Amino acid sequence: MHEDQPIKAALTVRARRMMLIREFWSIVLPLVARAHPRWAGQTASESYWLHTSSGVPGLRYDLWVRQNDAGCGLYIDAGSGKQAWNKAVFDALRANRAEIEDVFGKPLDWWRLDHKQSAVLSSIAVTVGYKSPREQWPEVARKLIEQVLRFEAAIRPHLKAATDAATGAV
């Protein structure tokens, strides 16, 4: 075995994974975008994460897929030097956790990430990911659509108040 064969094998595995993720998004994303215009204009990519604006600076909505699950979230990151603001937004949202989760219909994952600049709220929509059979992908899209709509309905009413509170706190 040549010494560069493990590197080539790893690149081939990575290339196949990236191609599979792009194929996943090429099926799922148009269905999500049709149901939720905020996602229109996004293109399939090799990234696990797709982002779109929440309409509030420093906050974006995410769709994500991993090998065996997919979901949505809110990514809080106003940029370099804004860690305190990001954490204050997160804390303001978390202060409304009961109401947000009641509207959403289930608990969210709350990731303050004190060791990082950003913070994240997320939820798994389905335990099927890009490694699942392609015939399951439309069902993934259906569940993502359902969850994205509930997620935004739960979070959106709190975004401006959370950013206003964070701006006043830092």
pTM more than 0.85: yes
pLDDT at 28 over 90: yes
State how beta strands 59-65 and 70-76 pair.
antiparallel
pLDDT level of residue 14 (50, 70, 90 thresholds) = confident
Tell me the C-alpha distance between 15 and 29, whole Å: 21
Element (H, E) at 88: helix 83-94
- The two most distant CA atoms of the chain are separated, in Å, by 62
**For tokens 């599979």, what's the residue?**
20
Residue from 131, 52, 130, 121 nearest 89 by CA = 121
Tell me the C-alpha distance between 39 and 62, whole Å: 10
Q: Which are the contacts of 143, defined by CB distance < 8 A and separation ≥ 6?
A: 70, 125, 126
For residue 156, the enclosing domain spans 5-169
Residue from 39, 61, 32 nearest 126 by CA = 32
Average pLDDT, the chain: 92
pLDDT, tens digit (0-9, with 9 covering 90-100), for 100-111: 999 999 999 999
**Number of domains the chain is built from:** 1
